[in-house]
Chain A
Amino acid sequence: MGIISRGFSGRGRAVNEDLPPGQFLTEDFPVLSAGPTPDIDTAEWSFSIRTEFGTDHTWDWDALQSLPTEDVTTDIHCVTRWSKLGTTWRGVSLDTFFENVETSREFTMAHSYGGYTTNIPLEDLLDGKAWIVHTFDGEPLDPEHGGPARLLVPHLYFWKSAKWVRGVTMHDSDDPGFWEQNGYHLYGDPWREQRYW
């Protein structure tokens, strides 16, 4: 146990098993972005997967809408220590995008409009663990929260769920993305509290 802070009693004692260590609950939806919110017209939007063979698999907004959608209810955990439980999203599983992609590489880098990047092992994007989502709580996703579409990888800290996502490139090593170069953990498992370097 750490040193006692005189006079501090705190508030919640009820153990919430859905809350990873060091997190607190918020009902709010805080916005964390490193720069301005980009203005992205869905008519200009596309999402691509680029492999080591230089092959691009690309979907525009209409193509995205034509893919099978899933409704996802999940908890999200931000490295700045807030968690939000039972959030609802709609989008397309990364399994669907990767269905016809041939690659032998095991790591990916997600790229966003505005220049943001984040690295994610391929296995963390597959098997029903990640989506491209365009709807939050029944409404089109707000630009501040990554609209028109963002990555959702809820089993990792939320900086991995890249806002304004526009593509994924295949890598043969786990190269650090934007926050991973600026102090955050390479992998980011909230249950193991992998916050920082």
Chain B
Amino acid sequence: MSGWKVGTVTTTSTQTASARAISLEVPGWPGNLAGQHVDVRLTAPDGYTAVRSYSIASAGPGETVELAVDRLPDGEVSPYLVDDLQDGDQVELRGPLGGWFVWRPEQAEHVQLIGGGSGIVPLMAMMRSHAASGSTAPFRLLYSVRTPDDVIYRDEIAALDDSSLDTMLVYTRMAPVGWPVPPGRLSKAILAESVFPASEAPLIFVCGPTGFVEAVATWLVELGHEPSRIKTERFGGK
């Protein structure tokens, strides 16, 4: 992997009140696996720089990189990316990074994706890679969000749910009108009902806030899933 490359914003799309998807054209980008990261560097006019690492929402060959960024209230970089960045603006990128939390289209086993909030981003790359490759690996998504307005990639996930994906949404604060269950945090019982059983030995990717991932990963082990089959990415402190 070589050094920094210049990315030019081609499109942005507002996903939720705090999250935005950003597509960049990055000449020389070598393509990336689903689930990998990229370092993003911003440079101010006086030469000051700030670098943060983001999951990539896109996958495969080509020189387009899509990010989906959630604004951290006290963040230095994410408010700029979500609120200020415009088409034609440039940032620098370095990557792709990471070889563990990744899914490759040649993997045939069952895959269970479990996302909390903006933890959907690397999972989105996997869903897209799965659909684009015509993979027949059974794919399931369990996605925990606070309210219906917090679903990142809502339309695209709904479209995939009609074709290549089996989706289960958990609303923790407010559910849509007519939703069969009241809102509430994901529980071990809901998890047990929703995910592929341990007997299928699914490969499981869990991404979300630290507390969410800790709880889910512990329950999965208690439900009989092999710890080595559970790949995790956490964000935020404890």
- Is A35 a contact of B227 with CB atoms below 8 Å? yes
Which B5-61 residues have C-beta < 8 A from chain A? 6, 39, 41-45, 47-53
Known: A10-B50, A36-B218. A5 touches B238 (CB 8 A): no
Known: A2-B49, A3-B90, A35-B227. A9 touches B234 (CB 8 A): no
Residue of A nearest to B6 (CB): A3
> Between A and B, how many residue pairs show CB distances below 8 Å?
123
Q: How far is the CB of B49 from chain A (nearest CB, A)?
A: 7
Contact with A37, one of B97, B214, B231 (Cβ below 8 angstroms): B214
Which B184-238 residues have C-beta < 8 A from chain A? 210, 214, 217-218, 220-221, 227-228, 230-238
- Is B43 a contact of A5 with CB atoms below 8 Å? yes
Q: How far is the CA of A66 from the CA of B220 in the complex (A)?
A: 36
- Is A10 a contact of B44 with CB atoms below 8 Å? yes
**What interface size band does chain A fall in?**
35 or more
Q: Is the interface of B mostly helix, strand, loop or mixed?
A: mixed
Interface size on B, residues (CB 8 A): 47
Contact with A4, one of B4, B43, B76, B238 (Cβ below 8 angstroms): B43
Per-residue CB proximity of A85-102 to B under 8 Å, as 1/0?
000000000000000000
Q: Is B182 on the interface with A (CB-CB < 8 A)?
A: no
A residues near B (Cβ < 8 Å) are 1-13, 22, 24, 26, 28-39, 80-81, 114-115, 142, 144-145, 178-179, 181-183, 196-197
A–B Cβ pairs within 8 angstroms, 14 of them: A1-B43, A2-B4, A3-B6, A5-B42, A5-B85, A5-B89, A6-B90, A7-B80, A22-B51, A24-B76, A33-B234, A34-B101, A34-B231, A196-B1
